[in-house]
Amino acid sequence: MPDGTTLPTDQATRVSLTGAVNSLANGMMTAPVAWKFPGGWADLTQAQIEAAAAAVVTHVQACFSAERAVQTQVEALPDPTGFDLQTAFTTALNASQ
């Protein structure tokens, strides 16, 4: 998050964020929304929930793009022995952000 708060990007978190965004948009719940982060609880506004959801979606898509780029690199190698997967992924991830 812009303020340095971290949150998981796993599927369960993405589903929860999507549900919160939709519920707020459709008046099924109102802000502030109690949200549990790895470091504790916070009461979030609708704008904060939407920003969190957008940040997570953007990050996950960047990871998928990086993974795809690295897979293409690996498949093109005659012998992947010695290929630095971590460096390749980090480079591809940084390039996609």
Position 62 pLDDT exceeds 80: yes
Residue 4 neighbours by CB distance under 10 Å: 6
Tokens of 45: 């506004």
Q: How far is CA 59 from CA 23, 44, 48, 49, 73, in A?
A: 23, 20, 16, 15, 21
Position 8 pLDDT exceeds 90: yes
pLDDT at residue 37, rounded to an integer: 87
pLDDT at residue 48, rounded to an integer: 94
What does pTM read for this prediction? 0.84
Host H or E run for residue 93? helix 85-96
pLDDT at residue 92, rounded to an integer: 97
Host H or E run for residue 33? strand 33-37
